[in-house]
Amino acid sequence: MIREPLIFEISGKGKRAFSLPALDVPEKQEIFKNLPLRSEIKGFPEVSEVEIVRHFTRLSRTNYCVDEGFYPLGSCTMKYNPKINEKIASILEFTCTHPYAPFDLVQGNLEVLKTTEELLAEITGMDAFSLQPAAGAQGELLGMMLIRACLEERGNPREIVLIPDSAHGTNPSSAHICGYRVQEIKSNEEGTIEVEDLAEHMTEDVAALMITNPNTLGVFEVDIKKVAEIVHSKGGFIYMDGANLNALVGVSRPGDMDVDVIHLNLHKTFSTPHGGGGPGSGPVGVKRELDPYLPVPVIGKNQNEYVLDFDQPKSVGRVHSFFGNFLVVVKALSYILSLGSRGLKEVAEVAVLNSNYIRKSLEKDYHLKYTTPTFHECVFSDKFQKEHGVHNIDIAKRLIDYGVHPPTMSFPLIVQGALMTEPTETESKRDLDLFIDAMKQIAKEAKEDPEVLKSAPHTSYVRRMDETTAARNPVLKWDGGHKIEE
Ligand SMILES: *Cc1c(COP(=O)(O)O)cnc(C)c1O
């Protein structure tokens, strides 16, 4: 593999990316006199057009993306998102709307927002939605703020939030940021919440249970109704982390499971590519009781006109400027309408089928701490491979050589050496089989040639990184002298 040099290293004095004929009229320098022109930058690279094009094309190919291949990163739902949704979101009337435009001029945009709120409410069985949060974790925080506001009005915000040990890692931090103390609830052998442990912890000091469903093991919380009854009987709320709704969408509804608050990740389930820190959206849905606390402005309808309602005295206020990430909502609406209810149901059916296909195909090669049938993802561990000195990181790095993005590693914490694998609904049987074959091959290598795993990847642009030094001592600026090592 040839290392791509820095563009500064390709630079050669006097090289230009264009050539123009010599000037055949008098030069008029004064035209430029009052323009804010940039002065010379010392050391600015000088390269030809073809050098620029090749440099950046080669760099772009060093990245891995879902348009290139299988990306089974657990809990992240790195699925393929149809390009039509991008096309709809790039319609000029959407991209050029000014956020301060008077609402009578942006009725179409308000209709997009209101319709999406209503469809999400129908899909989840909740009563109302806010589209403001820009991410799942911000949705969690808003959800907890709504619970706190409601409890405060009842006279006591309470102190504790219960979270199962199989929950997503953002849940405890959201509860903590909202001023709650977190108590962990144990999982049982099936990988679901231990109902007796919950009942013991559930007191009148508990504001809510935050539950990820299906949880990070990919296991559906079958006792959710009983769990909700226990929590409700002591005046607490059920918060559901619905980031991975592709496991349920069109089949079952959290609202029917007595969930009081939920957040979704439009940038996972509803067709916005993510992973590079781009715009996201974490809408929050509530039951009637929490409706008055939702962020302002609420979009209402006055006869045939959409209006913005700021007059919500109990509202927790804004959590995002304007309406959140509007174009992510446009993509979600485009996705929901293009699939329809039958298509959405198929999303969940295929997501669950794909995950179970992988789990069953690999269960002899990789240890499964929990053998419960899974929904959208399954969690293997490196227990068998450890006998040969091979760890989950070696397996993950070796997968890169087979052209697959590694699964999520070392999470959830209740599975040691975890490899959390989420195929998503968009993968074909052929692609699933390529992954399964690669994983089987790696299991064989672990027994016969563990060294090849421990030094992997061998074919990628960069080899095994020193991740500690990269995090502790990052080199973020070119100082003019640094040369990339071979
Ligand atoms: C991704 C995810 C989150 C957090 O969402 P962000 O948009 O990354 O903040 C929360 N819970 C679960 C289960 C997730 O998969």
How confident is residue 140, by pLDDT bands cut at 50, 70 and 90? very high
Residue with CA closest to ligand 1 atom 1: 76
Res 74: pLDDT: 95
- Extract the tokens encoding 43: 């050391």
Res 479: pLDDT: 64
In a 13 Å sphere around the CA of 101, the CA atoms on its Cβ side amount to 16
Q: CA-CA distance, 209 to 188, in Å (whole number)?
A: 17
Q: Are strands 284-286 and 298-302 parallel, antiparallel or unpaired?
A: unpaired
In a 13 Å sphere around the CA of 184, the CA atoms on its Cβ side amount to 11
Q: Is the pLDDT of residue 477 over 90?
A: no
Res 229: pLDDT: 98
The CA angle 414-263-114, to the nearest 5 degrees, is 165
Probe target for ligand 1 pocket from 241, 245, 274, 411, with the most ligand atoms within 8 Å of CB: 241
In a 13 Å sphere around the CA of 26, the CA atoms on its Cβ side amount to 3
Separation of 79 CA from ligand 1 center, angstroms?
15
Rounded average pLDDT over 356-385: 97
Q: Is 280 in the pocket of ligand 1 (CB under 6 A)?
A: yes
Report the interhelical angle of 429-448 vs 392-401 (nearest 10°).
Answer: 120
Domain range list for the chain: 7-60, 83-338, 346-471
Q: What is the topology classification, in CATH, of domain 346-471?
A: Aspartate Aminotransferase, domain 1 (3.90.1150)
What is the residue-averaged pLDDT of the chain? 94
How confident is residue 176, by pLDDT bands cut at 50, 70 and 90? very high
Res 199: pLDDT: 97
Do the Cβ atoms of 6 and 484 come closer than 8 Å?
A: yes
Q: CA-CA distance, 339 to 263, in Å (whole number)?
A: 21
Res 486: pLDDT: 40
Res 484: pLDDT: 45
Res 478: pLDDT: 62
The share of the chain scoring above pLDDT 90, in percent, equals: 84
Residue with CA closest to ligand 1 atom 8: 136
Query: Which atom belonging to ligand 1 lies closest to the Cα atom of 77?
Result: 15
Residue 193 bridge partners (DSSP): 187
Q: CA-CA distance, 228 to 337, in Å (whole number)?
A: 32
Q: CA-CA distance, 173 to 182, in Å (whole number)?
A: 9
Rounded average pLDDT over 458-477: 86
Q: CA-CA distance, 135 to 137, in Å (whole number)?
A: 5
Q: Tell which residue, 420, 418, 440, 419, has the closest CA to residue 362.
A: 440
In a 13 Å sphere around the CA of 181, the CA atoms on its Cβ side amount to 7
How confident is residue 1, by pLDDT bands cut at 50, 70 and 90? low
Q: At residue 207, what are phi and psi to the nearest 5 degrees?
A: -80, -40
Res 278: pLDDT: 79
Res 38: pLDDT: 85
Q: Is 212 in the pocket of ligand 1 (CB under 6 A)?
A: yes
Q: Is 247 in the pocket of ligand 1 (CB under 6 A)?
A: no
Check if CATH label 3.40.640.10 holds for domain 83-338.
Answer: yes
Q: Tell which residue, 126, 354, 170, has the closest CA to residue 258.
A: 126
Q: CA-CA distance, 143 to 467, in Å (whole number)?
A: 35
Res 19: pLDDT: 87
Q: CA-CA distance, 198 to 178, in Å (whole number)?
A: 21
CB contact burial 448-484 (16+ within 10 A = b; e otherwise):
eebebbbebbeeebeeeeeeeeeeeeeeeeeeeeeee
